[in-house]
Structures are given as C-alpha cells and as structure tokens.
Amino acid sequence: MINDPNRVYDGFFSMEAGVDAGRAANVIDTNECVSAENMTFRGGKPAVRPAWRRLRIEDEDFTNGNHSYYEDGGDAYNQVIPNRSAKENFNHGIFQCAHAYSPHVGPDSLMVMIGGRLYRVIPYVNNAKVTEVSIEDQTGEKYPPGHPNAGKLRNKRNRNTLAIAYMVQADKWFIVQDGESSAILYDGAKARRAITDTVRDKTEIPVGTMMAYGMGRVCLVVNERDIAFGDLFGSHDQPDPADALVMFTERNFLTEGFDAAIPFEQGIATGLAFFPQLDTSTGNGQLLVFAQRGAQAFFLNLQRELWKESQFQIAALLTTGLRGHRSISIANEDLWFRSDDGVRSFRQARSEQYGWAHIPHSTNVKQFVRTDTNRLLQYCSSIYFDNRVLFTTSPYPNATRPFHTGAVVVDFDILSSFGAKVAQPCWDGHWTMPNNIGITQFVAGTFNGVTRAFAFVLEDDLQRNALYELTMDDRDDVTGYEDGPKPKPELNESMIPISQRVEWEWVTRAFDFKQESTPFTELELYDADLWLKDIIE
C-alpha cells in the first residue's frame, strides 16, 4: 500500500451475507451489498450464478406429436390436424401447470398441462422426450353416427384458455384439476376422468382446485373456500390400497357434517400444504390451508370419527396470507411461501406474534418484489434446489399467458459451514433467464435418483413454450444446439451446445472509509484495485 497519511482504504474480502437492501447502503454490514443480478455469494466470494441449459424439444422428440383434438375439444383419434396437434399445442398452447411425477413403474417425469392437454416429459441431459397422455372419459358422450369417429368416446380435453391448473401426486396417482373439468387420474400407464355421478360409495375426487396429499388422504379445495377430505389409504376393499386415495365417499358421512371451511374473513383459499413435522412416522404435521389473510390448520392425525367432536381445525395464522399455491417450498423443516408483501415462512409468521415487527424475509431484496402486481401473484412458483429457494418475481399478465421476468433467490448453504457461527440465510438477489425470456413456472423433482430443477419459459417473443434446466455443470448458459458431426454413420448428428455468457451486475455498499477516517470526512476518490479468480469460459 502507498505510504501516504492522507490516503485511506476501504473494500471487501468476503460478501457472505449477500444482498441487503432493507437498510441504507451506508449502514449495512461490510459483508453485504445493496443489489445483485445473476450473482451468488455462496462461500463468501461474489460469483456468477449457475447456468441455465435449454433442453431441446423438437419434432423428433415427441412420441405422438401428431395426436390431435377437434376445435370443440374432442379427441380426433387417428385424424391429424396440424394446427391442433400435440407438438403444436405443446409449443404454442397456454401453459397451465407442471409438476414432477415418480410413478410406481416407469421413468420419473415432468407432467405438464398445456392448452388443456396433459403431457409427460422425460428430461435427459440435452433434450427431453414428450408424450401426450390421452385421457379416457368412460362417462362422457360418444361421437354420433356419421362422424369419422362414430361410436368412439369424445374424451374431451380440458379448456385450453385457462391460465392455471392444479396437480398433485398421491402415491401412484397423479391428479390434475382445473376447477371446471372432472379430475384427471393418471397412474403412470393410463389416464381417465374421475367418476363423480354414480352411487355414493363409488364416487371419486370431485371437481376442485388446489390439492395436497398427506396422512394417507388427498385434500382438495372446492368452491374456493371449502376443504374436502378424501378416503384413507387402504380403506376400501380393492386390489391396490392406493386405489382408495381417489375415493371421496366420506363427504356426507352420517353425523360428520360436510366439507371443512375457512373463515369468511380470511378470504378464499390460496394454498395447501402439510407442514413438515419431525419425529413423526410420515413426516407430515397438520394440513395448512392458507388463505388471502391467514391460515387454518387441520389435524388429520385424529381419527375420522373424532373430527366433528375434537379441535380438528384451528386458526394457525390470522394476518399473514399466502399468494400462489405453487410458491410453497419446504426448506429447513419450514414452509417458505409468497405473501402479499414478499417472501415469508410459516415459522417466522408464527413467531411474529411475540413482537411488533411484521416484515417478510425478502426485505433484503425488496427492490425486486415490491412492484409485483397482487392479482398476478397466484402464478408465483418456487423451488428448493441445491440448498437454495428460488421464487419467481415480476409477473406480467401477457393476455392469459402470464410470465415472470426473474426470480429472487435465498441461499441456505451459509448455514451449513460446519463448526462456524450460525449465520442468517443469504439473499443472492435477482436471477434472470438468458435473453430475459419469461418464466412461466419453476418445478423440481428427483429423476433417476438425481434432484433436478427446471423452468418452463416463454421464448420467441413470448409465444413458444420451452424447457430449461438449472445446472451445476455449466458456467455459461446454453440457449440452443447445432448439429455436429455424426459419431457413427448409423447414428444421428451430435448436438453441440450454443453457449452464451451470463450477464451480471452488482452494487456494493457505500464505502465511507470509516476504519481509517470518519463518515464525516470529505474524500477524493483516487483509485481502486480488483482481484478476480476462477475466470472460466
């Protein structure tokens, strides 16, 4: 250093506390910064975020890409209608929902609802195989005589203009709802509609919206503020005990009353989740039904016969609400979710009753969440992946194709420094996708034993659905592929990734040189030095 008594220095060695925009730039700690885009602070050194890799889904990646539906939604069977084919709808239909699915038999998959049609997507390293799942509707109408498919079931798809759908996996079943059509029940081999208009002892899951599976029951929101509870696993005399899960025969059970309801003053139901409970056989605690202004807890561990006479339902939260049922993620045995004013967690919201403060966890990144439009928060999604939680942010309506321009990211890895003083989770700031394409939903799951995280996005001027994976293997984003040489004459061309460097920026705290000066001493900026490492292409 230059030996000049008037020269003073400031700077940083470590930035392990990440972004803190909750306080002024000149009062935050020396290991914090004000803002960050596409950066991570894991390990203390500011670095560029992990890369996104586009998975190729072209015509050859569809197994039944020509399967079509008529304009009225009926199955066209062997007729091919190019502008309503499976691949055309997958690429350009309205994205509604995605969820990971691990069937009893067959590969782990992503299930996706686009344009009222259900797809099974098996992700590989550079591409994904897509199959449209045909849905059989035994109770539905048939094509009339004279029609090319006369006598066959219509097997209508769901409405293709809805912007959202709802999914859950309950044991072997994958259940899809959209609040209008009968539920779709898929067991990994065959998909069919739920049967709801027969005798009471045979009735299956009713039409509803959000769902959760825990304590051996499927729980479902019906009529916006009522909660219906399905039958207990193995409670019917059927070949597979899981078959009972889609039965809903107890809704009118003598003396047990009807569905549960959330108090009117809490608004409509906005999310459903079982609290992750340690020291239990299932890992499930109470069922939490979040509403716009509060949450109700249901104790499904009580015997069914006691629900009416016991304290089966209590108010778990009275002021903190949830927006966006897909925003719930489990991290550190807590539920993190999107609220009106930012990102909150259930444990934090419960603990606030003992004080006066009422602030979200995301105060540190408030500049990225405070302008979010409330009515669009229902499309928010989050994932827990690589010890981080990513929440979509900045939603845009986009004429029934809502998307998000980025995500706020909180990193829990700082907590796992063994032997070190326990620190707070670190906000990594704001992450965007390559070329600022819009995110429709995050989804994570375990595929062949490996946890993977994906983003469904809108690209090509927000007109085409695409799939990206958040990868720890790449340093540059992969935005496409070009054909390389054939490894062998009988094989297809190899795929050469098209890489794109990540664009990033971050803003430091206000350096006031107070270690060698005072905050009230006027200074002249003279020079600066930067040390970089791990420069990788």
Partner 1 sequence: MHTLKVQYRPDDYPEWIDWREFSQKFDIIGKAGSLDIGGVPTARAGFAPRVPFGKPAQKCDPTTARQLRRGFEFQVKFKGTGYCVFNRFRIHAMKLIEKSTSSC
Contact positions vs partner 1 (CB under 8 A): 2, 4, 6-13, 15, 25-26, 34, 45-48, 475-476, 501-513, 517, 519-537
Which strand ranges, in their side-by-side order, compose the sheet holding 226-229? 211-214, 217-222, 226-229, 260-261
Quick one: DSSP state of residue 27?
T
Nearer to partner 1, 197 or 534 (CB): 534
| Widest Cα–Cα separation across the chain | 98
Pairing outcome for strands 47-48 and 39-40:
antiparallel
Nearer to partner 1, 491 or 530 (CB): 530
- Smallest distance, Å, CB 9 to partner 1? 6
Nearer to partner 1, 249 or 517 (CB): 517
List Cβ neighbours of 128 (8 Å cut-off, separation of 6 or more).
55, 56, 57, 61, 110, 121, 122, 467
- Smallest distance, Å, CB 523 to partner 1? 4
- Smallest distance, Å, CB 14 to partner 1? 8
Contact 245, 173 (CB under 8 A): yes
Pairing outcome for strands 382-385 and 342-345:
unpaired
- Smallest distance, Å, CB 514 to partner 1? 9
- Smallest distance, Å, CB 491 to partner 1? 21
- Smallest distance, Å, CB 400 to partner 1? 34
Nearer to partner 1, 10 or 226 (CB): 10
349 membership: H or E segment, kind and range: helix 346-351
- Smallest distance, Å, CB 11 to partner 1? 4
- Smallest distance, Å, CB 63 to partner 1? 36
Nearest partner of 250 among 176, 308, 175, 169, judged by Cα:
308
Please give the structure tokens belonging to residue 513: 């040189």
Nearer to partner 1, 348 or 517 (CB): 517
- Smallest distance, Å, CB 16 to partner 1? 12
Nearer to partner 1, 249 or 508 (CB): 508
What is the Cα–Cα distance from 13 to 30, expressed in whole angstroms?
9
Indicate the residue type of 496.
I
Nearest partner of 186 among 106, 130, 115, judged by Cα:
106
Please give the structure tokens belonging to residue 324: 């966006």
Quick one: DSSP state of residue 304?
G
Nearer to partner 1, 13 or 124 (CB): 13
List Cβ neighbours of 414 (8 Å cut-off, separation of 6 or more).
16, 17, 42, 423, 424, 425, 426
The CA radius of gyration of the chain, in Å to the nearest whole number, is 26
Nearer to partner 1, 46 or 116 (CB): 46
- Smallest distance, Å, CB 50 to partner 1? 10
Burial 123-152 (b: 16+ CB within 10 A, else e): beebbbbbbbbbbebeeeeebeeeeebeee
Which class for 3: exposed (0-12), middle (13-18), buried (19 or more C-beta within 10 A)?
exposed
Nearer to partner 1, 310 or 521 (CB): 521
- Smallest distance, Å, CB 47 to partner 1? 4
Nearer to partner 1, 72 or 537 (CB): 537
What is the Cα–Cα distance from 201 to 292, expressed in whole angstroms?
34
Contacts 24+ apart (CB under 8 A), 359-362: 359/22, 361/336, 361/410, 361/425, 362/391, 362/408, 362/410, 362/427
What is the Cα–Cα distance from 504 to 36, expressed in whole angstroms?
8
What is the Cα–Cα distance from 113 to 319, expressed in whole angstroms?
33
Nearer to partner 1, 341 or 428 (CB): 428
Nearer to partner 1, 356 or 520 (CB): 520
Nearer to partner 1, 422 or 528 (CB): 528
DSSP string over 188-239:
SS-EEEPP-SS-GGG-BPPS-S-EEEETTEEEEEETTTEEEE-PPTT-S--S
- Smallest distance, Å, CB 30 to partner 1? 11
- Smallest distance, Å, CB 509 to partner 1? 7
